[in-house]
A and B are shown apart, each in its own frame.
Chain A
């Protein structure tokens, strides 16, 4: 087994892929480090896709556990981030199919000392409208939008996560934006 110090790059930081290889050999500290690096993105993707923070936490945890369970088969041919997001995407689709019609979480942060009550209410209403608009998008359009807008991923990377072509991602984003422009016309 190679030690973490041996695997560190020139900047002294061990790459995700090397941490993954260590985790595959049973190094649970390497696994925990991977989780720490990607937990925020994992939670945010699931939360923005589903609109439910409790479910997002379950999905993020399950994604990391699935990755560890399959770590022995992992080959660093693709970036770890793409691999992780692909697992999250599939878990989100499963959750979307099983979803129950519960109220969505409040979306925008409401604590802002500079805002008065009216601005707060307006901003909250606006955020809820946007949330509803996104929630009504078909799952593939929604995930493409989340990965592009919030994770800043390229079409190529999104395509790898969603198992499709970059031109398909372009089409998904075009349709998502067209639908949102129509739904939120009075807000834009």
Chain B
């Protein structure tokens, strides 16, 4: 076994992960190679240095606190969906309210179209007569307001034209 192969296997050798034959081959090489032996010593020193990484002691009552937290979560899961409750319940409420708003809008539209449709269908002629009468009234009012147009003005010409239009050219 050469240095390159040995160097690659030193970690596994140190960890006891090499099969018996592999470990024996590494040891055979180490007996005759000071460089690889020094590398193994350095790995052992590194392992020793890592012992300075202290862990964390379990705080007292940790297991009991975890159990309480678990019970609290189970309690939350058992609670029914409530308005302004848990986030999931609030999200569900928002969806339900949107669906309800859509249903109200569709129902309103349907009622409006039904009512409007029957009014057009039943009173079509009456509606048309009423519209014509309103338009005539509006025209008469406009004419009345322009009856005092000064002589020679554009307004007087317009009145003359309107009068001609009404009488069909039979004079004022």
Q: Which residues of A are at the interface with B, using a C-beta cutoff of 8 A?
A: 28, 31-32, 35-36, 39-40, 43-44, 46-48, 53, 56-57, 60-61, 64-65, 68-69, 107-109, 123, 126-127, 130-131, 134, 145, 148-150, 154-155, 166, 170, 173-174, 177, 180-181, 184, 187-188
User: Do B58 and A123 touch (CB < 8 A)?
Assistant: no
Please name the residue on chain A nearest to B16 by beta carbon. Answer: A154
Task: For the complex formed, measure the closest distance between the CB of B78 and the CB atoms of chain A, giving whole angstroms.
Answer: 12
Contact count A vs B, C-beta below 8 Å: 105
| Cβ contacts under 8 Å, A36 to chain B | 63
Most A C-beta atoms less than 10 A away, residue of B56, B63, B73: B56
Mark the stretch among B43-51, B86-94, B129-137, B144-152 that contacts chain A: B43-51
How many of chain B's residues touch chain A, expressed as a range? 20 to 34
Task: For the complex formed, measure the closest distance between the CB of A170 and the CB atoms of chain B, giving whole angstroms.
Answer: 6
**Contact of A43 with B56 at beta-carbon distance under 8 Å, contacts A170-B12, A188-B42 already known:** yes
B85 within 8 A of A: no
Contact of A32 among B12, B42, B50, B63 (CB under 8 A): B63
B70 within 8 A of A: yes
B8 within 8 A of A: yes
User: Do B67 and A28 touch (CB < 8 A)?
Assistant: yes
Can you list, as one digit per residue, whether each of B57-79 has a CB less than 8 Å from chain A (1) or not (0)?
11100111111011101000000
| Chain A interface mostly | helix
B52 within 8 A of A: yes
B15 within 8 A of A: yes
**Contact of A32 with B15 at beta-carbon distance under 8 Å, contacts A43-B56, A180-B46, A184-B49 already known:** no
User: Do A57 and B70 touch (CB < 8 A)?
Assistant: no
| Cβ contacts under 8 Å, B54 to chain A | 107-109, 127
User: Do A177 and B11 touch (CB < 8 A)?
Assistant: yes
User: Do A31 and B67 touch (CB < 8 A)?
Assistant: yes
A107 CA / B43 CA spacing, docked (Å): 21
User: Do B15 and A155 touch (CB < 8 A)?
Assistant: yes
User: Do A39 and B63 touch (CB < 8 A)?
Assistant: yes
| Cβ contacts under 8 Å, A107 to chain B | 52-54
A126 CA / B45 CA spacing, docked (Å): 13
Please name the residue on chain A nearest to B8 by beta carbon. Answer: A174
| Cβ contacts under 8 Å, B59 to chain A | 57
B17 within 8 A of A: yes
User: Do B70 and A31 touch (CB < 8 A)?
Assistant: yes
User: Do A184 and B64 touch (CB < 8 A)?
Assistant: no
